[in-house]
Amino acid sequence: MMLTGSQIFVEVLAEQGVDTIFGYPGGAVLNLYDELYKNSDRIRHILTAHEQGAAHAADGYARATGRTGVVLATSGPGATNLVTGIATAYMDSVPMVAFTGNVATSLLGRDSFQEAYIEGVTMPITKHNYTVRRVEDLADTMRAAFRIAQSGRKGPVLVDIPKDVTANSCDFTPKPPEPVRTVTRYDEESVLKAAEMINAAKRPLVCFGGGVRSAAGCQPLRDLLAKAEIPATYTLMAAGVLAYGEPLNLGLLGMHGCYTTNKAVDEADLVIAVGTRFSDRVALKPETFARNAKLIQIDIDPSEMGKNVPIDLALIGDATYILQAILPHVAPAKHPEWMAQIREWQKKDYKPTDSDTVLKPHQMIDEICRQAGPDAVYVTDVGQHQMWAAQYLHHTKSRGFLTSGGLGTMGFGYGASIGAQIGLGPDARVIMLTGDGSFHMNLNEGCTAVSYDLPIITVIFNNQVLGMVRQWQTSFYGKRYSNTDPHRRTDFARVAEGFGAKGYHCETPAEFKAALADALTQKGPCWIDCRIGKDEKVLPMIPGGGDIADIIME
């Protein structure tokens, strides 16, 4: 059948199972938006306040649901406004397809109005990208984009569509979605070797990252831990894969991980790394990381093997299938001496002080978990509040903690919260934790949350400074606080009311408890402005380039 490029665009989206996209209209994509209007019963479009918010929303949708997030923007500044969101998804291996409009093919390369070479701009931050120059290529290019986004190591793909391509016509033939490709490059010998190393270990430790969450399932990891009594630690991207309070869950690893996890890595005789790339926030000093251990690395991306730390055995593929292959060859085991040593180390872990009169971050997070319950989904921006969330949230869901890990994008949280709420539905409880610095970046998306009646609760850890940078200035720069006190007078509660949301202002634990309880009864978005001390620190901390010997506990 003969269809225009815009009709093909909608048909392929539907063919790929897309029912929601996020975006912002403009001249180069008017044909696409006209067709979306005609098909609003098939595909829901969420209009954000800014294209960056739309990109983060598509990202949050993908992280919360496991489905591919889709974002649409116009040419020029619309396209370039997606860049930070695309890079955020790329660093954290999030499946997303970004569609951008562009000037007509006859105007490309002529510095036309609102023209940008977005394919070249995004080449380093996408798995693949395309400029579609013929309407006959549009359908198959879109199909390839969705397949690539979900295959192997997941990530974003960009498709740039000139305006004349959306207006031209060609014959269109529907096709079912192509199967996602599974990467498997390990052999039976490697599987047996891994099991042999696990069976021989006296002090084994599993270190897992976001690749476990992206894999086909988390259960084989849990089965391995239980069968061989192996304690586990995780990176920021994997918080929630193991439930809070599980005996074998030691907690967060790395720069702001606890003393026990970092000490266990230092003393282990075998480290099984699953779906983690050993970033500089985990292996802060690569030459001493796991210095006493043999190291098995399991990852879907062959380029990550031994990239940051030396390894003894590599198994390339989906972590779920590799662990399923290893499990039958692992002997049931107990490690009482190793577990006893770990319990002794846990007595030395940092414990923050409580207060009945002033707001303390760890107590606020305890209260949030108590009131919101185990099914809540938590989204963060980037900074001190992000680390406090990773340390103290009572994680119970593998997709219940959404944060920007690799790129560390301030302003990520509100857009991602919107995407998560849309993806999970109105009955889901989405709570966004942010700092006043991060929130100022993209709080304009408050109007989006109001427009769609999204019951997102935003808790603002407001210390009126750029807290994480200030903490570094305190510890390493002689308390020279260069530009980390912005002297802002923003009244977030009143700003919330101006958007049409409900706002609260809290300075004591009692006020926060009451505000949160009330917010949980509201049908729309709420902002809770919580005043915390500007000298609150994220502890413990291992300075960049250090190891367990350099840990700061107070």
Phi, psi for 332 (deg, rounded to 5): -55, 140
Sheet holding 232-234, edge to edge: 249-252, 232-234, 204-208, 270-274, 294-299, 313-316
Q: What percent of the chain has pLDDT over 70?
A: 100
Q: What percent of the chain has pLDDT over 90?
A: 95
CATH of 361-531, one of 3.50.50.100, 3.40.50.2300, 3.90.1150.10, 3.40.50.970: 3.40.50.970
Torsion of CA 151, 153, 156, 160, to 10 degrees: -50
Asked if residues 342 and 488 have their Cβ atoms less than 8 Å apart, the reply is no
Each residue's pLDDT tens digit, 376-435 = 999 999 999 999 999 999 988 889 999 999 999 999 999 999 999 999 999 999 999 999
Each residue's pLDDT tens digit, 177-210 = 988 877 677 889 999 999 999 999 999 999 999 9
d(CA 406, CA 236): 9
Task: Name, in order, each residue with C-beta under 8 angstroms of 13's C-beta and a sequence gap of 6 or more.
Answer: 21, 43, 70, 142
- How much is the pTM? 0.96
Please, is 271 exposed, middle or buried when counting C-beta atoms within 10 Å of its C-beta (0-12, 13-18, 19+)? Answer: buried
d(CA 29, CA 9): 11
Phi, psi for 161 (deg, rounded to 5): -125, 110
Mean pLDDT, rounded, for 454-472: 97
DSSP structural state of residue 328: G
pLDDT classification of 3: cutoffs 50, 70, 90: very high
Residue 554: name the closest of 261, 474, 541 by CA.
541
First and final C-alpha spacing in the chain: 70
Residue 115 has pLDDT above 90, yes or no: yes
Instruction: Indicate the residue type of 215.
Output: A
Mean pLDDT (the chain) is 96
d(CA 43, CA 99): 15
Query: β-pairing, 430-435 with 502-506?
Result: unpaired
Each residue's pLDDT tens digit, 503-517 = 999 999 999 999 999
CATH of segment(s) 2-171: 3.40.50.970
Q: What is the pLDDT at residue 181?
A: 74
Mean pLDDT, rounded, for 541-553: 93
Each residue's pLDDT tens digit, 9-47 = 999 999 999 999 999 999 999 999 999 999 999 999 999
- What is the full DSSP assignment across 398-437? TTSEE---SS--TTHHHHHHHHHHHHH-TTS-EEEEEEHH
CATH of segment(s) 188-346: 3.40.50.1220
Query: β-pairing, 96-102 with 128-131?
Result: unpaired
Question: Distance between alpha carbon 355 and the CA centroid of its chain, in Å?
Answer: 32
CA atoms within 13 A on the CB side of 45: 17
CA atoms within 13 A on the CB side of 297: 20
d(CA 361, CA 434): 11
- HEC string of 189-251 equals HHHHHHHHHHHHCCCEEEEECHHHHHCCCCHHHHHHHHHHCCCEEECHHHCCCCCCCCCCEEE
d(CA 365, CA 357): 16
Instruction: Indicate the residue type of 211.
Output: G
- Tokens 């048909």 correspond to what residue? 11
Residue 99: name the closest of 12, 1, 186, 197 by CA.
12
Residue 217 has pLDDT above 90, yes or no: no
Task: Name, in order, each residue with C-beta under 8 angstroms of 107's C-beta and a sequence gap of 6 or more.
Answer: 115
Each residue's pLDDT tens digit, 477-529 = 999 999 999 999 999 999 999 999 999 999 999 999 999 999 999 999 999 99
Ramachandran category for residue 492: left, alpha or beta (phi over 0 → left; psi -120 to 50 → alpha) = alpha
Asked if residues 423 and 20 have their Cβ atoms less than 8 Å apart, the reply is yes
Torsion of CA 420, 423, 425, 428, to 10 degrees: -30
Equal CATH topology for 2-171 and 188-346: yes
Helix %, strand %, coil % for the chain, to 5? Answer: 40, 20, 40
Q: CA Rg, the chain, in Å?
A: 24
Give the residues across from 402 on adjacent strands: 379
Element (H, E) at 343: helix 336-346
CA atoms within 13 A on the CB side of 455: 16
Each residue's pLDDT tens digit, 340-390 = 999 999 999 999 999 999 999 999 999 999 999 999 999 999 999 999 999
DSSP structural state of residue 178: P
d(CA 404, CA 395): 17
Enumerate the domain spans of the chain: 2-171, 188-346, 361-531
| Alpha helices per DSSP H over 433-508 | 436-442, 446-451, 467-476, 492-499
The two three-digit tokens of residue 122, written as one number: 């995004």
Asked if residues 39 and 63 have their Cβ atoms less than 8 Å apart, the reply is no
Question: Distance between alpha carbon 532 and the CA centroid of its chain, in Å?
Answer: 26
The two three-digit tokens of residue 188, written as one number: 């039976």
d(CA 396, CA 382): 21
d(CA 16, CA 145): 10
Alpha carbon distances (Å) from 472 to 105, 482, 535: 49, 11, 11
Catalytic site positions: 51, 113-114, 163, 468
Q: What is the pLDDT at residue 308?
A: 94
